[in-house]
Structure 1
Amino acid sequence: MLIVILILSLIFFGIGFIVTENNAQYILSGYNTMAEEDRQKFNIKLYVPYFRNFHIVLGISMLIISLVLFYFVSSDWAGLFIVAYPIAAYIYFIWKGSQFLKDGNKKQQMASYVVMGVLFIILLFIIFMFTYSLKDNKIEIKNETLEINGDYGTKINLADIKSIHLISELPKITSKINGFAVETTKKGSFKTKDGEKVTLLINSKNNSYILIITKDNKKIYYSSKEESNQEIYTRLRKQLNLSKFRM
């Protein structure tokens, strides 16, 4: 995570020094596709310093705020920030940048509003999905079924459970097949170092995890961030009468 924060911050900081008044017509997105008549209506002399200062501030602020979140709040929220913050910043960047149109080019202004609208929708979607995925998956037994609700949750018939274990560590995970993954939260399908496909419903790093193995040898690793995994495991044993399972 720290490497990602550093790289992204340096990239945004460096972008500010790429565009100049001389090369803008070749590399500045939007401006390089304008007709010459439209370029004459755009104040590129004032826009280039604005472009540079914006990206310098973006890079520095991303680095500082991300590190504060990482060390003092949560690495997961730092992960959300480095994704959502640039999108929110570019919405402001585009809105503020429209003032450099000298004669109020309505076509360009309309294009700016469309882009801002799309970015805003994407931003809302990312925030919603991230906060939803960070919610704790609850595990309970209903009608002869073990249910793990929430994002990437699952249902297992009690008759299909081969065994349930309380373990001290997770297998080495090498890749994500399909799911959600940040520093402390991992949900979905993943592949282990041994090439085994497993389901993770890990809501937080812990010193104990619950492993559920089905009769067809599917493995589901679970941990809660709101309850003790030991207490959940004990409760499941009582509810399931686990003497019939191989422990």
Structure 2
Amino acid sequence: MMLIAITIQLFSFLIIWIPAYFVYKKGVYMLLSGFNTKSKEEQQHLIENGYPQAVGKAMMNSSYLLPAGALLAFFVEPAVAIAVSWVVWMFYFFIRMIMLSKLDNSKNKKRDLSILIGTFAFVILLIGAFLFEGEREPRLTVSNESVSVTGIYGVEWPLEDIKDIALVEDLPAIRSRTNGYSFMERRRGHFSLEGLGRGRLFVHTGTAPFLYMEKDGDFLFVNSKDPGETEQWFYQIREVIE
């Protein structure tokens, strides 16, 4: 996970830094989104005001936050390091772009500023919704026909498909996240585990016990912040199955 986090951050850094370098240092302003659509007169006014140069500089400065996130991954959970660096990058870059809009005197200034603010607000809402859903406690529901885990990456299994169920004190080592939510001790979604392969987690990694269920070709671990509730889930499912 550490290697993946560092690779993602460095690759993202280059994607932002390289065009920013050519804009800021070499004057290749055509690399800026929307610059080509403006008239020659508007382009010249923007250059005289220092707008494309300032945008290129802002891009370069913001890009350094991404390798900083890679360094942070050595001290905290890699997923947290990536998330923090991208959130800081987003706030810095969008706010800087809004401040630089005063240098834009083109006729489409208001439209471009509205799009920028709208995009910023949409991204904030999207991140907030994802974090809210990821932080919600998983709920396990048992019926006479199935067991379901609600919330993000939720799943429902027919009882007749369950081959094994156990209450365990230790969670196998997590090798990687394939498609899921990971923050602090929370794991939601698809992960690859040592000795088991790919399966689903709905857990607080630091809170034992864990309810383990297995069916053909799949498995899952789920628990509650309240150990007593996790134990209650186990006995409830075992009673229904038996």
TM-superposed deviation, 1:45:
5.6
Corresponding residue of 2:182 = 182
Amino acid across the alignment from 1:108: K
TM-superposed deviation, 1:204:
3.6
Corresponding residue of 1:106 = 107
TM-superposed deviation, 1:76:
4.7
TM-superposed deviation, 1:212:
0.9
Corresponding residue of 2:100 = 97
Q: How does 1:133-212 map to 2 (within 5 A)?
A: 133-142=134-143, 145-167=146-168, 168-170=170-172, 176=178, 179-182=179-182, 185-189=186-190, 199-206=199-206, 209-212=210-213
TM-score by structure 1 length? Answer: 0.69
Corresponding residue of 1:80 = 83
Cα distance in 2 between the residues matched to 1:70 and 1:55: 25
TM-superposed deviation, 1:200:
0.7
Deviation string 1:107-166 (CA, Å, 9 cap, x unpaired) is: 233123223312321331122113312333132435664332211223344454332024
Corresponding residue of 2:31 = 27
Q: Is 1:54 equivalent to 2:58 in the alignment? A: yes
Aligned partners of 2:73 and 2:81 also within 8 Å: yes
SS of the counterpart of 2:225?
A: coil
RMSD of aligned residue pairs (Cα, Å): 4.1
SS of the counterpart of 1:106?
A: coil
SS of the counterpart of 1:113?
A: helix
Cα distance in 1 between the residues matched to 2:43 and 2:146: 65
Cα distance in 1 between the residues matched to 2:26 and 2:113: 23
SS of the counterpart of 2:23?
A: coil
Cα distance in 2 between the residues matched to 1:24 and 1:6: 23
Amino acid across the alignment from 1:51: V
Amino acid across the alignment from 1:227: D
Pair 1:243–1:135, CA change in 2 (3 A): closer
Deviation string 1:83-129 (CA, Å, 9 cap, x unpaired) is: 3333333322332222112xx32323312322331232133112211
TM-score by structure 2 length? Answer: 0.70
SS of the counterpart of 2:138?
A: coil
Query: Which consecutive unaligned segments of at least 5 residues does structure 1 have?
Result: none
TM-superposed deviation, 1:181:
3.8
Cα distance in 2 between the residues matched to 1:91 and 1:107: 18
Q: Is 1:236 equivalent to 2:240 in the alignment? A: no
SS of the counterpart of 1:42?
A: helix
Aligned partners of 2:190 and 2:201 also within 8 Å: no
SS of the counterpart of 2:45?
A: coil
How many residues are treated as equivalent by the alignment?
235
Pair 1:212–1:22, CA change in 2 (3 A): closer
Pair 1:204–1:63, CA change in 2 (3 A): farther
Pair 1:124–1:154, CA change in 2 (3 A): same
